[in-house]
């Protein structure tokens, strides 16, 4: 388990797990996933905490057949990037047939553990 | 801005050499480049050496001095690490050293040894060019990252897997006469479409192989080249470097490569040329979709148009804009830290006529370009090479 070493990121995962997700927004409206001290797009340091919308939408996805050793027992699995309001998250889509995944599909976000390592990972579920 | 003359090039064969240490491969490439230039280790002012995962692959950090030592010198040397753009950026540092007047003779190159790590180990190592918190922990491998971009590209601009397959077929075909290439094997569109899936929609033949190898160049200041009669007739006249966020999720568009665009604009301005002047290119095609992103980022195609270029024949060696005459990363191979230097060496050799595919470069072509990308193009290095006489 490596999670204990990543304080701010851990806190973010805790919040996602508790359905209390958030992201940061800078004065120019750039949406940023924690941990961040500064906006990489404009250098703004006045980041405001914004509530993450409950549902997101898949913008792209892939089915990984050849994983890293950390995901050996998880493969094949679907990794997707989904937009929640202005923010984008990358996570693993749980309990789906890869052939049924489509861009635009609505998802919710939580945290689950990877099968191989038991490490926590951002996880999407299809919104029903 | 002054030029940096290319006085010599050298590379090992790219392939699977799990028993060869990196220092030996870099010695072979670097000494060949020095021999080509007619210079010796005692002439070297500085060494710039690209390498990405040597710390994992060979249990070896601090590889700069080791690289210099392999060439027979203790001249100052540094390792440049920028994932797959490591030696493209080593060359940029070398160009800047020569242009600033701080060095007259530099060796710039790179090496990677990966096959000894096995497929799982290399996949793990290469994934580290992505963002650990935001991507690797969500199961993103390197093929997966490019697959995410490929799917986003199809969604935004159109195109399909068959368009991508034509890119692989073209690059394999170009490599058939390149004895340094990892894969000298003719393939068909069906071969690509029917090869095993690695990260949908990308299959095995959309991907470059896991390669070992090294490449190096000797670059000279104009004054040194003139004084010693070493003007090879080809120089690096433009250099650019672009950057972007590490994680794909932080980018506005997942279907474009702004770092390539920024690097290209800087390199074109530096050389005083426009994309219209470019006769042929070596671009970073670690996956077939990467060639598309590169051609569009370089301004050689407008967004959405690059995907069909190979299928239409425009980027084949008899087309208007030959792309990856060496075979590209796809077929020549991709020893990560050596790739950028190998591309610049290929462009130089194509311009001087000593490359096995030089007959595809028309006599009136005087400008070639090399594009090297790091990560999912969070780094990009672009170099313009021109015939100077």
Phi (first) and psi of residue A6, to 5 degrees: -120, 70
Per-window interface: A 30-89 vs B, CB < 8 A: 32-33, 35, 40-41, 59-72, 74, 77, 79, 81, 88-89
> Would residue B349 count as lying in a domain?
yes
pLDDT at B109 over 70: yes
Q: Is there a contact between B151 and B201 (Cβ–Cβ < 8 Å)?
A: yes
Distance CA B267, CA B264 (A): 5
Q: Is there a contact between B51 and B22 (Cβ–Cβ < 8 Å)?
A: yes
A62 with B137: Cβ contact below 8 A: no
Q: What is the pLDDT of residue B177?
A: 98
> Would residue B246 count as lying in a domain?
yes
* Chain A residue at shortest CA distance from B138: A91
| The CATH classification of domain A53-127, taken from the options 1.20.1070, 3.30.1490, 2.40.50, 2.60.40 | 2.40.50
Q: In 10 A of CB A48, how many CB atoms? A: 11
- Tell me the whole-structure pTM to 2 decimals: 0.97
Report which secondary-structure segment, H or E, holds A15: helix A7-17
pLDDT at A4 over 50: no
Averaged pLDDT for residues A87-101: 97
A72 with B124: Cβ contact below 8 A: no
The pLDDT tens digits for B318-358 are 999 999 999 999 999 999 999 999 999 999 999 999 999 99
> Would residue B157 count as lying in a domain?
no
Which residues does chain B have within 8 Å of residue A33's beta carbon, measured at their own beta carbons?
A: 134, 249-250
Q: In 10 A of CB B224, how many CB atoms? A: 20
Which residues does chain A have within 8 Å of residue B200's beta carbon, measured at their own beta carbons?
A: 62-63, 65, 98
Q: In 10 A of CB A4, how many CB atoms? A: 7
B42 touching chain A per CB within 8 A: no
Q: How far is CA A115 from CA A26, A69, A94, A124, B95, in A?
A: 36, 11, 12, 15, 48
Domain carrying residue B275: 4-118+209-387
Q: In 10 A of CB B303, how many CB atoms? A: 16
Distance CA B164, CA B244 (A): 24
The pLDDT tens digits for B249-281 are 999 999 999 999 999 999 999 999 999 999 999
Averaged pLDDT for residues B241-251: 97
Averaged pLDDT for residues B141-145: 96
**Across chain A, which distance is largest between two alpha carbons, in Å?**
43
Whether B286 is catalytic: no
> Would residue B144 count as lying in a domain?
no
> Would residue B141 count as lying in a domain?
no
Is it true that the peptide bond before A34 is cis, omega within 30 degrees of 0? no
* Ordered DSSP codes for B257-320: -HHHHHHHHHHHHHHT--GGG--EEE---SBHHHHHHHHHHTTSS-TTTGGGHHHHTTTSTTSS
Tell me how many domains chain B contains: 1
Residue intervals in chain A for CATH 2.40.50:
53-127
Which residues does chain A have within 8 Å of residue B258's beta carbon, measured at their own beta carbons?
A: none
> Would residue B222 count as lying in a domain?
yes
> Would residue B347 count as lying in a domain?
yes
ipTM at complex level: 0.95
B378 touching chain A per CB within 8 A: no
Q: Which of B180, B182, B334, B371 is catalytic?
A: B334
Question: Tell me, what CATH number does B45's domain have?
Answer: 3.40.47.10
B199 with A70: Cβ contact below 8 A: no
């Amino acid at each position: 388990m490596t999670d204990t070493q990543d304080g701010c990121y851990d806190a973010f995962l805790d919040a996602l797990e508790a359905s209390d997700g958030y992201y940061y927004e800078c004065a120019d409206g750039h949406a940023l996933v924690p941990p961040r001290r500064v906006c990489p797009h404009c250098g703004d340091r006045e980041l405001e905490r914004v509530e993450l919308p409950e549902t997101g939408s898949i913008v792209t996805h892939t089915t990984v057949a050849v994983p890293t050793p950390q995901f050996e027992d998880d493969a094949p699995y679907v990794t997707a990037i989904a937009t929640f309001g202005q923010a984008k998250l990358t996570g693993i889509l749980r309990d789906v047939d890869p052939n049924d995944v489509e861009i635009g599909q609505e998802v919710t976000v939580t945290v689950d553990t990877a099968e191989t390592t038991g490490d926590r990972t951002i996880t999407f579920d299809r919104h029903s | 801005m002054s030029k940096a003359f290319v006085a010599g090039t050298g590379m090992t064969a790219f392939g699977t050499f799990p028993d060869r240490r990196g220092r030996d491969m870099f010695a072979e490439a670097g000494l060949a480049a020095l021999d080509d230039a007619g210079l010796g280790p005692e002439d070297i002012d500085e060494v710039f050496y690209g390498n990405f995962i040597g710390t994992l692959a060979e249990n070896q950090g601090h590889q700069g001095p080791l690289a210099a030592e392999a060439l027979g010198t203790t001249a100052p040397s540094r390792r440049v690490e920028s994932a797959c753009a490591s030696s493209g950026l080593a060359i940029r540092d070398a160009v800047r050293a020569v242009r600033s007047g701080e060095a007259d003779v530099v060796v710039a190159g790179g090496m990677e040894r990966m096959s000894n790590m096995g497929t799982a180990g290399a996949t793990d190592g290469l994934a580290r060019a992505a963002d650990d918190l935001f991507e690797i922990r969500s199961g993103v491998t390197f093929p997966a990252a490019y697959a995410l971009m490929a799917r986003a590209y199809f969604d935004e601009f159109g195109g399909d897997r068959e368009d991508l397959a034509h890119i692989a077929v073209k690059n394999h075909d170009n490599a058939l006469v390149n004895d340094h290439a990892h894969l000298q094997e003719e393939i068909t569109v069906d071969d690509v479409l029917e090869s095993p899936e690695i990260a949908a929609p990308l299959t095995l033949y959309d991907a470059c192989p896991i390669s070992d190898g090294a490449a190096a160049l000797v670059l000279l200041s104009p004054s040194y080249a003139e004084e010693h009669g070493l003007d090879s007739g080809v120089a690096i006249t433009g250099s650019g470097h672009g950057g972007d966020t590490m994680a794909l999720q932080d980018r506005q568009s997942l279907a474009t490569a702004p770092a390539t665009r920024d690097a290209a604009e800087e390199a074109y301005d530096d050389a005083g040329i426009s994309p219209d002047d470019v006769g042929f290119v070596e671009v970073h095609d670690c996956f077939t979709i990467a060639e598309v992103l590169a051609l569009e980022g370089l301004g050689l195609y407008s967004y959405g148009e690059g995907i069909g270029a190979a299928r239409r024949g425009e980027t084949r060696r008899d087309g208007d804009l030959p792309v990856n005459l060496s075979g590209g990363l796809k077929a020549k191979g991709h020893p990560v830290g050596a790739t950028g230097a190998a591309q610049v060496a290929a462009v130089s050799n194509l311009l001087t006529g000593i490359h096995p595919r030089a007959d595809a470069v028309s006599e009136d072509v005087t400008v070639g370009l090399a594009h090297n990308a790091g990560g999912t193009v969070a780094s990009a290095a672009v170099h313009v090479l021109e015939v100077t006489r």
